[in-house]
């Protein structure tokens, strides 16, 4: 299957700082990527849809000013958690849709964020 | 309101037994995916079903999409300890947005 990478795999930061997470499609170009959040023992919740060259579309209840998304190229989307607080601690996962295979998304390995 | 109801949420059985996981909704999906997720990792795609009534097999795993494209099932035959993991169903609502079920945490005991 297609390969999606994320960096970093885990990050620990102090409350009030900003953290950037990168999502890359390694062997294909992705015009659309998605960002999810997963709390322990829970399922994935879609946060936003990242579109190359345009603004991201956020799901209801997700603060766009807190979770900044930039999809600057066809292989890279970034999620920046601004002024992070302990309640932002979670597992953040991105996915990318493979062009021409409408129904299929491939997921990155996830980024574990811990805000102290 | 959970759009996709997945059941059971926890299942622990002995090696060699069969099991079925269900994913139900009142909504119609254009497609439905099944994923498996290991702790600390992202979900790995197992299968995508698109056509109502479709059945797909992946070794000992059989996936079925309901005729009305509102529900799906995953059946594992002769479960093995290596099948242990979190199984997630996800429905495509359109615009490629996926909604996930709660997940089924499966444990196969040797």
Bridge partners of A81? A19, A67
Work out the pLDDT band at B65, boundaries 50, 70, 90. Answer: very high
Q: Please judge whether A45 and B31 are an interchain contact, meaning their C-beta atoms are less than 8 angstroms apart.
A: no
Q: What is the pLDDT of residue A103?
A: 64
Closest CA to B43 of B110, B94, B104, B1: B104
| Residue tagged 């169903």 (tokens) | B89
Tell me what pLDDT residue B61 has: 97
Cβ–Cβ below 8 Å for A104 and B33 = yes
pLDDT over 70 (residue B59): yes
Mean pLDDT of the A91-100 span: 88
| pLDDT over 60 at B2, yes or no | no
User: Torsions phi, psi of A30, nearest 5?
Assistant: -120, 110
Rg (chain B; Cα; Å): 13
Q: Return all residues near A30 (Cβ < 8 A) that are at least 6 apart.
A: A52, A74, A75, A77, A96, A97, A98, A99
Closest to B37 measured CA to CA, from B76, B85, B79, B84: B85
Residue A102 has a pLDDT of: 61
Each residue's pLDDT tens digit, A3-57: 899 999 999 999 999 999 999 999 888 888 999 999 988 889 999 999 888 889 9
Please tell me the least confidently modeled range out of A97-101, B31-35, B42-46.
Answer: A97-101
What is the per-residue pLDDT across B80-92, written as a single tens digit (0 to 9) for each? Answer: 999 999 999 999 8
Residue A69 has pLDDT above 60, yes or no: yes
**Tell me, what's the pLDDT at A68?**
96
Average pLDDT, chain B: 93
Question: Which phi and psi (to 5°) does residue B95 adopt?
Answer: 55, 30
Q: What is the pLDDT of residue B58?
A: 95
Per-residue pLDDT band at A101 (split at 50, 70, 90) = low
Among chain A residues, CA nearest to B89:
A43
Residue of A nearest to B98 (CA): A46
pLDDT of res. A54: 85
- Reading the block at residue A24, the tokens are 């890359």
* Contact of A105 with A1, CB cutoff 8 Å: no
Collapsing DSSP states into helix, strand and coil, what is residue B82?
helix
Give the mean model confidence (pLDDT) for residues B99-106: 93
Cβ pair A107:B31 closer than 8 A: no
Evaluate the CA torsion angle A71, A11, A43, B17 in order and state its sign. Answer: positive
Chain A hits for B102, Cβ within 8 Å: 42-43
Q: What's the average model confidence in pLDDT over B72-100? A: 91
Q: In chain B, which among 51-70 make CB contacts under 8 A with chain A?
A: none
């Amino acid at each position: 299957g297609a390969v999606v990478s994320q960096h970093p795999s885990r990050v620990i930061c102090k409350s009030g700082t900003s953290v950037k997470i990168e999502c890359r499609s390694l062997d294909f170009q992705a015009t659309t990527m998605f960002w999810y959040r997963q709390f322990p023992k829970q399922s994935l919740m879609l946060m936003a849809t990242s579109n190359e060259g345009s603004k991201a579309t956020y799901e209801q209840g997700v603060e766009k000013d807190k979770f900044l998304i930039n999809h600057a190229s066809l292989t890279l989307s970034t999620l920046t958690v601004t002024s992070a607080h302990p309640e932002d601690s979670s597992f953040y996962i991105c996915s990318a849709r493979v062009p021409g295979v409408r129904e299929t998304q491939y997921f990155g390995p996830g980024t574990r964020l811990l805000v102290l | 309101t959970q759009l996709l109801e997945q059941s059971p949420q926890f299942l622990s059985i002995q090696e060699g037994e069969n099991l079925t996981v269900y994913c139900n909704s009142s909504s119609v999906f254009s497609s439905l995916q099944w994923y498996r997720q290991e702790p600390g990792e992202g979900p790995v795609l197992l299968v995508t079903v698109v056509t109502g009534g479709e059945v797909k097999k992946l070794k000992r795993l059989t996936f079925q999409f309901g005729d009305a494209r509102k529900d799906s099932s995953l059946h594992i035959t002769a479960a093995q300890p290596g099948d242990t993991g979190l199984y997630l169903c996800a429905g495509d609502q359109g615009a490629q947005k996926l909604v996930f079920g709660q997940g089924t945490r499966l444990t196969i005991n040797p």
